[in-house]
Each structure stands twice: as C-alpha cells, then as structure tokens.
Amino acid sequence: MINSSTYNYLNSQETPFYYYDMELLEKSLISIKNEAALYNFQVHYAIKANANPRILSLIQSYGLGADCVSGNEIKRSIENGFPTNKIVFAGVGKSDKEIELALDTNIFCFNCESIPEIEVIEEIAKSKNKVANIALRINPNVNANTHHYITTGIAENKFGINPWEFEEIIGILKASKNLNLIGLHFHIGSQIVDLSVFKSLCIRINEIQDWFQSHQIIVEHINVGGGLGINYHQPDEEPIPDFKNYFAIFNEFLNLKANQKVHFELGRSVVCQCGSLISRVLYVKKGINTKFAILDAGMTELLRPALYQAFHKIENLSSNKALENYDVVGPICESSDCFGKAVSLPETKRNDLISIRSTGAYGEAMASEYNLRTIAKSFFSNDIK
Ligand SMILES: *Cc1c(COP(=O)(O)O)cnc(C)c1O
C-alpha cells in the first residue's frame, strides 16, 4: 500500500525496478529480534534470498548472523558488516577455493552435506594447519508439504546426510585432528506455511539427538534451518510473518541438552514482503478470448513464476476503473514468461504502473541478463523525501 508521494516518486523512475519498503523490513527485524530473544535463539539471515547491500547492512544491524551458500556470499556478508563468527556456510557443492576462503576468514561453521565433502574440508584444513568447525546437515526425512522444487528434507534428495551414514562419519571425525563437530543442522524446505511441519521437524531432531547421545556425542549447536513461509496472496493482511508462534514451536517441542544453543536460517520470511517489482505496461494486446497486459518486466527480474509456477499478487497502481481480466506477461522470448493468467485488474492501459508484490526474496537475487537485459536498479522507501 503506497501513498501519493511514493506513487509520484515511483512513477518518475525508469522501469522496471525493485522497490523496498525499509520501514517494513525494520519492523520485521524488530519482531524477529524480540521473539528470538525470548529463548536466546540465534538467527542467521539466508543471504541468497536477497544480497542487496542496503538490505544486508540493515539486517546485520539487528544482530543477525549470515547463512551463506557460496564463497561470494561469504565475501558479501563480511563487506556489509556481518561478523565472521556469525557466518555459517552450507551447500552441497563447496569448491576448494570456497572452503579455503571460509577457513581463511574463520567463519563460525561449515554445514556439511556429504562424506566426500567432509573429507575434502579435513584435507584442506590440515594443509592450513587449521581446525574446521563443522555441523552435519542431516536429512531428517520430514516432508515440508511445499512445492517439490523447494522441498529439501526427504530421503532421496541431493541435500543432506542420511542416518545410515552416521556411523561412518563418527569414525572419520574420531580420526581427525582438523575437524571439530559442533552442531547438527537441518533445513527441510522453503515457503512452509503449515507450522505443524516444524513440530514434526522438532520431533525428528529429538530422535536424531538421542541416537547421537547413545553414541556419546552431544553437540553444542542445533541449527533448524529456515523455511518459514509468507502470505503471497494477501501481503497487506500479513506483512510480517508469525515469528512469535514460529519460535514458540521450537521452544516447546525441541528437547535440548544442557547448554545447547538453537540457530535459525531465515531468508524469505525476513525480506519477502518488503519488496515489490515495479514495472510499466508496454502494450495491452487483444487475443481471441484473452487480453494480455505486456509489461517491461519479465522473468529476468522475477523468475519465480516461470521457475516454480509461483503466485505473486499483481496490482495496477495507476488505475481505479472497473475490473477486467488480463494475462500479465513479460517481454522475454519464453512462453513461461508469464506472471499470472486471468488476473483481475482495473482497466489497464499503456504506461500504467504495475506493482508485483512480495518480491523481496528470490526476486532481485535471481535476476539475469537473459536476452541481454540490463539488471534492474533498486530504490528504497527511506530515500523518498
Ligand atoms: C535457502 C536456505 C535457507 C533459507 O530458506 P528460506 O525459505 O528463504 O527461509 C536456509 N538454509 C539453507 C541451508 C538454505 O539453503
């Protein structure tokens, strides 16, 4: 929801661009900080959701750590003020160079996803005469009930270590002077709106912890990953996700051992609702039964609809005429470059300003230059006088 001075500001910029409501981001961060503090939980922001420097520096100022999935994300988070002792590094395919960078910058922990990866980290740490802190990313076999492309915690999945590999790993760790097991890590998927899924995750974590305890291993850190979903259909009704109940579930259902600390890796839920993709209608084209609103933004600025058939709310900021149906499409030479079919919009014409909502996460971060497009700029609410 925007007022007329914001509208005039947005309307004076060259489209398409990303627009961030920094007051909303700040409110979300305050909620995260307060709710997590009740239980002394440490939250790491998943950089991959949005790595815009302005966004990162605000997020780190609220005490969040960084969850990185590449060497460049580690560099970006350090550049924007995240302390290295609050950086965790996940990913199924860490290159030698990335492992070296992580060791050289003394990050908090590697979240390891396979036995061969653990062996390579050990080798590189040894060559540097260093000890790598590691957590095992465990595949807990909990179904996140979300889109299959963003489900990561079921058994046949490229992510994570399966329970039948635990014994072998314990052997490797016992034999190594350069690996220090400090945690167990879980991340079961994204856009999870059914909070009972997190209760199931807690119950699995408790069972897995019991297994490790029966093998005389109690780690200091339990990292439960991210995945809290947001309301794409009604962004204004639920601008801030329900962090209160989310954290309360982990507090209620996780059985912690003495002195264990719980970590989270939230991406989407932190930044999604603060971002909109603003574009302009180039043409309204009449088909046989359909009217197409052709925008100057496409899958190059927002890939999620083309990639996972994701829904985003679309608004016409310039019109309040009678509602009609439009297929809202982008200019890219791909049939999947479509933001929505039969979208109800007030009568729409060339040059109307269109807002595609909830694009703060996995929007700008997934931008591409396909079709030799120019990467869109970003604008921030706190720059509007
Ligand atoms: C992507 C990712 C996250 C963040 O997921 P969200 O759904 O955006 O909260 C957290 N941890 C890991 C390991 C990830 O890959």
Contact 295, 340 (CB under 8 A): no
12 C-alpha to ligand 1 centroid (Å): 35
- Same domain for 281 and 264, yes or no, is no
Q: What is the count of structural domains for the chain? A: 2
Indicate which CATH number applies to the domain containing 348: 2.40.37.10
Burial string for 136-169 (b: 16+ CB within 10 Å, else e) reads bbbbbebebebeeebbbbbeeeebbbeeebbeeb
- Same domain for 115 and 252, yes or no, is yes
Burial string for 338-371 (b: 16+ CB within 10 Å, else e) reads bbbeebebeebeeebbbbbbbbbbbbbbbbeeee
- Same domain for 325 and 286, yes or no, is yes
Place of tokens 């949005």: 50
- Same domain for 323 and 287, yes or no, is yes
In this predicted structure, what is the pLDDT of residue 142? 84
Which amino acid makes up residue 113? E
- Same domain for 115 and 246, yes or no, is yes
- Same domain for 10 and 76, yes or no, is no
- CA diameter of the chain: 72
State whether the beta carbon of 67 lies less than 6 angstroms from ligand 1.
Answer: yes
The C-alpha angle 207, 213, 218, rounded to 5 degrees, equals 110
In a structure prediction context, what are the per-residue pLDDT tens digits for the chain, which is 385 residues long? 688 999 999 999 999 999 999 999 999 999 999 999 999 999 999 999 999 999 999 999 999 999 999 999 999 999 999 999 999 999 999 999 999 999 999 999 999 999 999 999 999 999 999 999 999 999 988 877 666 655 665 556 788 999 999 999 999 999 999 999 999 999 999 999 999 999 999 999 999 999 999 999 999 999 999 999 999 999 999 999 999 999 999 999 999 999 999 999 999 999 999 999 999 999 999 999 999 999 999 999 999 999 999 999 999 999 999 999 999 999 999 999 999 999 999 999 999 999 999 999 999 999 999 999 999 999 999 998 7
Tell me the angle at which helices 166-175 and 115-127 cross, rounded to the nearest 10 degrees. Answer: 10
225 C-alpha to ligand 1 centroid (Å): 6
Contact 92, 139 (CB under 8 A): no
- Strand 87-89 and strand 109-112: pairing? parallel
In this predicted structure, what is the pLDDT of residue 83? 98
With the most atoms of ligand 1 within 8 angstroms of its CB, the residue from 64, 265, 304 to mutate is 265
Looking at the chain, list the stretches that DSSP marks H as alpha helix, in order from N- to C-terminal side: 4-11, 22-37, 53-61, 71-79, 96-104, 115-127, 166-175, 196-214, 243-253, 268-271, 304-308
Contact 346, 281 (CB under 8 A): no
State whether the beta carbon of 113 lies less than 6 angstroms from ligand 1.
Answer: no
| 134 burial type by CB count under 10 A (0-12 exposed, 13-18 middle, 19+ buried) | buried
Question: 301, 287, 239, 276: which is closest to 354 by C-alpha?
Answer: 276
Nearest atom (ligand 1) to Cα of 150: 7
Question: 262, 255, 136, 145: which is closest to 204 by C-alpha?
Answer: 255
- Same domain for 178 and 327, yes or no, is no
Nearest atom (ligand 1) to Cα of 190: 7
Nearest atom (ligand 1) to Cα of 189: 7
Domain endpoint, select from 249, 271, 293: 271
DSSP 201-217: HHHHHHHHHHHHHHTT-
In this predicted structure, what is the pLDDT of residue 145? 65
266 C-alpha to ligand 1 centroid (Å): 6
With the most atoms of ligand 1 within 8 angstroms of its CB, the residue from 32, 67, 191 to mutate is 67
State whether the beta carbon of 16 lies less than 6 angstroms from ligand 1.
Answer: no
DSSP 53-106: HHHHHHHHHTT-EEEESSHHHHHHHHHTT--GGGEEE--S---HHHHHHHHHTT
With the most atoms of ligand 1 within 8 angstroms of its CB, the residue from 187, 232, 263, 364 to mutate is 187
Helix, strand, coil % in the chain, rounded to nearest 5: 35, 25, 40
State whether the beta carbon of 86 lies less than 6 angstroms from ligand 1.
Answer: no
State whether the beta carbon of 91 lies less than 6 angstroms from ligand 1.
Answer: no
In this predicted structure, what is the pLDDT of residue 22? 98
State whether the beta carbon of 58 lies less than 6 angstroms from ligand 1.
Answer: no
The C-alpha angle 183, 188, 189, rounded to 5 degrees, equals 135
- Same domain for 197 and 223, yes or no, is yes
- Same domain for 306 and 253, yes or no, is no
d(CA 109, CA 67): 10
State whether the beta carbon of 135 lies less than 6 angstroms from ligand 1.
Answer: no
In this predicted structure, what is the pLDDT of residue 152? 64
Cβ count near 325 (within 10 Å) = 13
Indicate which CATH number applies to the domain containing 210: 3.20.20.10
Place of tokens 């990292």: 223
Domain endpoint, select from 271, 296, 315: 271
In this predicted structure, what is the pLDDT of residue 28? 98
Nearest atom (ligand 1) to Cα of 228: 9
State whether the beta carbon of 227 lies less than 6 angstroms from ligand 1.
Answer: yes
Which residues lie below 8 Å from residue 38, measured CB to CB, with a gap of 6+? 247, 251
27 C-alpha to ligand 1 centroid (Å): 21
- Same domain for 195 and 295, yes or no, is no
226 C-alpha to ligand 1 centroid (Å): 5
State whether the beta carbon of 188 lies less than 6 angstroms from ligand 1.
Answer: no
In this predicted structure, what is the pLDDT of residue 258? 92
> What domain range includes position 54?
23-271
State whether the beta carbon of 226 lies less than 6 angstroms from ligand 1.
Answer: yes
- Same domain for 287 and 224, yes or no, is no
Domain endpoint, select from 271, 303, 321: 271
- Same domain for 133 and 189, yes or no, is yes
